[in-house]
Structure 1
Amino acid sequence: MLIENVSEFDADGWRWPHFTPAELACRCGGRFCAGEYWHAPDFLDALEALRTDAGHPLVINSGHRCAVWNTYVGGVRFSLHRSIAVDISLAGHDRHVLLAAAERKGFTGFGLGKTFLHLDRRPRPARWFYPGSDASWRT
């Protein structure tokens, strides 16, 4: 469900203690939207379960993106960030442990970056390396 302005989202009953709508909303800073947020409880359940398994914070570098922001940051035309996906910072995490935990939690889209892990829940599983990141995932 698309919320056009995260500040208008009614967070009553919010059950994901380690995340906020604001950190998952578009980060264009009001340049292209009013802070769009895509609310997907099943996705958030999986993300919260992943955070619990990780045992320490998951820093979200990017969540939902409005169409213009997605283009501006170099996202692909049909990026799942246009609905709900996250890029999680790998700082403080073992990348392979985090990836394996995400697979167990039902994520199906895995973008392997040097400093981040992209996660989404696409219908058909996919895994890819971002340019120049493959070596960091082979160690």
Structure 2
Amino acid sequence: MLFGTGAAAQTALGTDWSWANFSIAELSCRCGGRFCGGEYWHDAQFLDALETLRAAMRGSPLIITSGHRCAGWNAAVGGAPLSQHKRIAADIALAGHDRFALLRAAGQAGFTGLGLARTFLHVDRRARPTRWYYPGSKAVWKR
């Protein structure tokens, strides 16, 4: 469900926010008002999977570097025209994590879109499972 702003989502969801380790702000569009007012896409199953992933990483924080993107911000940052970020996806910083453990746990948590980059892991819950490497990242994902 798309909310015009993270503030609107917070008002609508009120006390129904059940994901203690994540906030609407960190998952909202980060265009800084250039294209939207901080749109937020709410998906409880996605958030449940994020919490499951965090628990699998033994409670180590997951730093979300990109969540939902409005169409304008997605284009400005070079996102794919059909990017899952235009609904809900997350790029998780690899710093402080074993990249292979994070990847394995993401799959076990139910993420089906897995993008492997040098400094982050992209996760989403698309219908058709897909895994890809971002340019220049394949070498860091080899064992």
- Which of the five TM-score ranges fits, normalised by the shorter chain? over 0.9
Match of 2:32 among 26, 29, 34: 29
Q: In 2, Cα distance between the equivalents of 1:127 and 1:108?
A: 8
| Higher percent of residues as helix | 2
Q: Kindly state the Cα deviation for residue 103 of structure 1 after the two structures are TM-superposed.
A: 0.5
Q: In 2, Cα distance between the equivalents of 1:137 and 1:78?
A: 25
Counterpart residue number, 1:75:
79
**Post-superposition CA distance 1:63-99 (Å, at most 9, x none):** 0000000000000000000000000000000000000
Q: Which runs of at least 4 in structure 1 moved beyond 4 Å after TM superposition?
A: none
Q: Kindly state the Cα deviation for residue 12 of structure 1 after the two structures are TM-superposed.
A: 1.7
**Post-superposition CA distance 1:8-64 (Å, at most 9, x none):** 222321110000001000000111100000000000000011011112000000000
Match of 1:59 among 53, 56, 63: 63
User: Which letter does structure 1 place at the counterpart of 2:3?
Assistant: I
User: Which letter does structure 2 place at the counterpart of 1:6?
Assistant: G
TM-score by length of 1: 0.98
Q: In 1, Cα distance between the equivalents of 2:7 and 2:16?
A: 16
TM-score by length of 2: 0.95
Q: Kindly state the Cα deviation for residue 124 of structure 1 after the two structures are TM-superposed.
A: 0.7
Which structure 2 segments of 5+ residues have no match? none
SS at match of 2:55: helix
Q: In 2, Cα distance between the equivalents of 1:13 and 1:7?
A: 14
Counterpart residue number, 2:127:
123
Counterpart residue number, 1:91:
95
Q: In 1, Cα distance between the equivalents of 2:16 and 2:126?
A: 26
Counterpart residue number, 2:23:
20
